[in-house]
A and B are shown apart, each in its own frame.
Chain A
Amino acid sequence: MWLRVILVAIVMSFVAPAMAAPDGARLYRRLCSVCHGDDGNGGVGVPLRLPAFQSSVSDAYLKKTIKHGRPGRIMPAFDYLNEAEVQAIVDHIRGWNEGKRPGFSQARIRGDAGHGAKLFAKHCAQCHGENGQGGHGTGVTFSRPRDLPIIAPALNNPGFLAAAPDAMIKATLEKGREGTPMVSFRKQGLSEQDINDLVAYVRSFEQQHPEPDRLAQEIEPILVYESPYGLEETVEAVKRAAVGRNFRLIREQTLENGLFPEDQENDRQVIVYFCNFNFLYDALAVDPRVGLFLPCRVTVVEQQGRVKVMSINPKRLSTLFNNENLNQACDHMYQLYTEILEEATF
């Protein structure tokens, strides 16, 4: 009997909070506000508060976007949230506007995708990219102001295509989005059939089959080379190799610097920090969170008579960011790190 009472009490302590309605404001603040702003005014992410945005997207679109994100475009998939939590976030977002929540038919719109492709090249590609890949970089950057409140979305993104029904795309083309560079294409002189053709072309992006990304788990987390030289000699070789690739040396210290008194630091673990400020500036524009890679660093370690040179693997770390533009920068960094480590240990 007592066992039953205790077990029920334990269960209720979990069930009661779980059964309570989720707090949309709290969830939004914790999960969304860093990119979309506390009040939905945007930043790295879309300005969700914008009336023209709210009046052109359905709740279903918002929910699917939260669940699936935008692969490769920073917006992560919050696939661990339950339905009630997602709905609570959507309700919180909708609370900023009093307007009606639009709904859209899920039916496919028929159109001539071939003609739509020509119209897309003429009217859309300048902002959305030749293949619908979207604008470059993030929205208003974390660290520096930008000219536009948003970056043109990637229309070929599988997350977008899964979330946006044809009717929603059509309505956006017809009405535009006030407060963003997206204009009404009916007002620009396109006919309804033209717009249907454009929708058919955008939908055809679903047939693109991009190369699947290599699984993150298959990428080594660090780059490591054994050096045939002594520690001090290897440190100098690392510095020469970095400078030879247009990096500026900014600091040399032990791994334990700042953690132990100077005379107690292990001087057989030496970090060389370096930076290419031009590359850094460009990388910050691609993704302001890039600080987690900073500064560029190679560590030289002597352990049991062997000297190793190691660095993070930028390719592996970049998988955490869900930003395909950053992946390209990280591929370049991987190449540079590899060259530096190889040269220093050659």
Chain B
Amino acid sequence: MRNRLLSTLVLLLAAVIPPAQAQDLFMVRSRLPFAETMLMLQEAVSDQGYKLSRVQRVDVGLTNMGYETDKYRVVFFGKPDQVRRLSETHPELIPYLPLKIAIFAEETDTLLVAANPRRLAEFYDDEELRGVFAQWADDMQVMMDKLQNAEGM
């Protein structure tokens, strides 16, 4: 009887729990202007326990070369000790370190794009890394949600 109850419950749960979302990219639209979103992104990165390592000013480079473009930056970040450890234990991961989010203006809105770190698990078949990628993905989702739902300072 107990087994039958358990089996029924397991089947029921399997039917109603949605499958894990498997986007290839995290992409969100912030209703806030670029400068404000950029500040909030830096805060969100820090709130999730990461350190901002650099901002690549793509738009500045393009403008300096005579091209017309709106605001476009790439934000790099990581957990210092984790980056150091992973680069030693898994040097094949180095080209994908540190993490990054592209942020750019679209008229009065700002868009943010990041590769879903869970997809890296397909690149690297490693149990330890799978856990790391899942954590990065969860953290990035939190950052993206914050920015998408932000209503201004």
| Residues of A that sit less than 8 Å from B by CB | 3-4, 7-8, 10-11, 14-15, 18-19, 29-30, 33-35, 37-38, 43, 76, 80, 82, 140, 142-144, 216-217, 221-222, 224, 250, 253, 255-260, 266, 269, 273, 275, 277, 280-281, 284, 288-289, 291-292, 294-295, 297, 299, 301, 303, 308, 310-312, 316-317, 319-322
The reply to whether B29 and A38 contact each other, CB–CB distance below 8 Å, is: yes
B127 contacts the other chain (Cβ, under 8 Å)?
A: no
User: Given A33-B29, A142-B106, A256-B84, is A14 in contact with B70 using a C-beta cutoff of 8 Å?
Assistant: no
The reply to whether B104 and A295 contact each other, CB–CB distance below 8 Å, is: no
Residue in chain B with minimal CB distance to A298: B95
A147 to chain B, nearest CB (A): 14
User: Given A144-B68, A269-B87, A277-B67, is A321 in contact with B51 using a C-beta cutoff of 8 Å?
Assistant: no
The reply to whether A11 and B13 contact each other, CB–CB distance below 8 Å, is: yes
User: Given A30-B148, A216-B122, A316-B123, is A291 in contact with B104 using a C-beta cutoff of 8 Å?
Assistant: yes
**Chain B contacts for A297, CB-based, 8 A:** 95
Most B CB within 10 A of own CB, among A34, A256, A269: A34
The reply to whether A292 and B114 contact each other, CB–CB distance below 8 Å, is: yes
State A312–B53 Cα separation when bound (angstroms): 19
**Chain B contacts for A43, CB-based, 8 A:** 106
User: Given A144-B69, A222-B95, A316-B123, is A259 in contact with B102 using a C-beta cutoff of 8 Å?
Assistant: no
User: Given A221-B124, A259-B78, is A308 in contact with B91 using a C-beta cutoff of 8 Å?
Assistant: yes
State A38–B107 Cα separation when bound (angstroms): 13
The reply to whether B123 and A221 contact each other, CB–CB distance below 8 Å, is: yes
The reply to whether B27 and A257 contact each other, CB–CB distance below 8 Å, is: no
The reply to whether A11 and B94 contact each other, CB–CB distance below 8 Å, is: no
From B16, B18, B29, B70, A143 is in contact (CB under 8 Å) with B70
B84 to chain A, nearest CB (A): 6
State A314–B25 Cα separation when bound (angstroms): 15
The reply to whether A11 and B18 contact each other, CB–CB distance below 8 Å, is: no
**Chain A contacts for B119, CB-based, 8 A:** 320
B56 to chain A, nearest CB (A): 6
